[in-house]
Amino acid sequence: MSMVTISTALTDAARRLDAGGIENSRGEARLLLSHVLGFGAEKVIGHPEFEIDDAGMIELESALSRRVRREPMSHVLGKREFWSLNFRVTPDTLDPRPDSETLVEAVLKHVVDRGRRLRVLDLGTGTGCLLLAILSEFPNASGVGMDISQAALDVAKENSETLGLDKRAEFLRAEWDTGLAGEFDIVVSNPPYIPTRELNLLEPEVALFEPRLALDGGIDGLAEYRALGPVLVRRLRSQGIALIELGAGQSGPVGQIMTRVGLDILDQRHDLGGVARCLVLRHAPALTNC
Ligand code: GLN
């Protein structure tokens, strides 16, 4: 039986990924190989002569064929890093994206005291990435993640346990805040914001494999912001802040929706690509004073 070395497997995997239209084919080939072999990246790079056994080759084949069909890397690996934490990801949850880290950064900028006993609410929590990343930065904070999908909530709960944050996070199934009591210091949300007609134009990883429920923002992409506005008003403490994610070009229209329901725009934060990705909102002073 001839054994395949890491070096040969890498070259072949990269070629197949490349042919499948995947951009970072060499990098992804390395990731898949280290996943299949259970090796760190250094070992994959540092030991090109290592021979992969049959079981490894079978697993690699299965991972490669899934990825070539454009299944997201996070689904093939079953996980994704967000805010330097590992999150389990399934087809029921939106893949945590670096863009959303803009919201976590914005929380850190606006809430300087890390020791505060904050109450945090995440509306449409998915994997729980926003809530859990925030709780990881504020040791005395606790919070609630809400989602309409029970399957997503099961993943979020599991993530909270793996990250050791389950004592401070609870997860509830509801359409937005139905059945929820209380007000919060921080409310975060990454709502669905893609206009329905654009869903099928997204890259195959998103269009074919990510949950529509987490993407579809209705006819103009703004439907869920219209629903969310009054929820933010109800759930925010008088001194609290809401941080919501935006799609590209949505800052103006979403700002108007939020102003109309009685919120003030405190700040707008850009992601690494320069897109206005996050609005920071609070109650308009006129409302809190009366
Ligand atoms: N950022 C996702 C995308 O562009 C969309 C996420 C969302 O609708 N909230 O694919």
Domain ranges of the chain: 4-69, 79-283
Q: 72: Cβ below 6 Å to ligand 1?
A: no
How far is Cα 102 from Cα 245, in angstroms, rounded to an integer? 8
Tokens of 89: 């990801």
Q: 190: Cβ below 6 Å to ligand 1?
A: yes
Instruction: Please give the class, per CATH, of domain 79-283.
Output: alpha beta
The arithmetic mean of pLDDT across residues 64-79, rounded, is 97
Q: 215: Cβ below 6 Å to ligand 1?
A: yes
Q: 123: Cβ below 6 Å to ligand 1?
A: no
Could you check whether 4-69 and 79-283 share the same CATH topology? no
The pLDDT score that the predictor gives to residue 163 is 98
> For residue 77, how far is its CA from the centre of ligand 1 (angstroms)?
20
> pTM here?
0.94
CATH of domain 4-69: 1.10.8.10
How far is Cα 50 from Cα 132, in angstroms, rounded to an integer? 38
The arithmetic mean of pLDDT across residues 234-263, rounded, is 97
> For residue 267, how far is its CA from the centre of ligand 1 (angstroms)?
21
Q: Which of 123, 190, 200 to mutate to test the pocket of ligand 1 (most atoms within 8 A of CB)?
A: 190
Do you know the residue count of the chain? 290
How far is Cα 200 from Cα 233, in angstroms, rounded to an integer? 33
Q: Is 288 a residue whose pLDDT tops 60?
A: no
List CB contacts of 107: < 8 A, sequence separation 6 or more. Answer: 134, 137, 186, 188, 243
Q: Is 289 a residue whose pLDDT tops 60?
A: no
Where is average pLDDT lowest: 34-48, 84-98, 217-231?
34-48
99 CA closest ligand 1 atom index: 1
**Tens digits of residue pLDDT in 219-230:** 999 999 999 999
pLDDT classification of 2: cutoffs 50, 70, 90:
low
- Three-state SS for 212? helix
Place of tokens 């934060």: 269
Q: Which of 89, 93, 94 to mutate to test the pocket of ligand 1 (most atoms within 8 A of CB)?
A: 94
Q: Is 250 a residue whose pLDDT tops 70?
A: yes
Which residue's CA is minimally distant from atom 9 of ligand 1?
192
Q: 194: Cβ below 6 Å to ligand 1?
A: yes
pLDDT classification of 145: cutoffs 50, 70, 90:
very high
pLDDT classification of 133: cutoffs 50, 70, 90:
very high
Q: Are 171 and 145 in contact (CB under 8 A)?
A: yes
- Dihedral pair phi/psi, residue 115, rounded to 5°: -90, 0
**Tens digits of residue pLDDT in 152-206:** 999 999 999 999 999 999 999 999 999 999 999 999 999 999 999 999 999 999 9
How far is Cα 118 from Cα 156, in angstroms, rounded to an integer? 20
216 CA closest ligand 1 atom index: 8
Q: 97: Cβ below 6 Å to ligand 1?
A: yes
Q: Which of 101, 122, 125, 193 to mutate to test the pocket of ligand 1 (most atoms within 8 A of CB)?
A: 193
The pLDDT score that the predictor gives to residue 1 is 58
Which residue's CA is minimally distant from atom 10 of ligand 1?
206
> For residue 94, how far is its CA from the centre of ligand 1 (angstroms)?
8
Mean pLDDT of all residues in the chain? Answer: 96
The arithmetic mean of pLDDT across residues 120-125, rounded, is 98
For residue 109, the tally of other CB atoms under 10 A from its CB is 11
The pLDDT score that the predictor gives to residue 286 is 65
How far is Cα 189 from Cα 129, in angstroms, rounded to an integer? 11
How far is Cα 188 from Cα 123, in angstroms, rounded to an integer? 6
189 beta partners: 123, 244
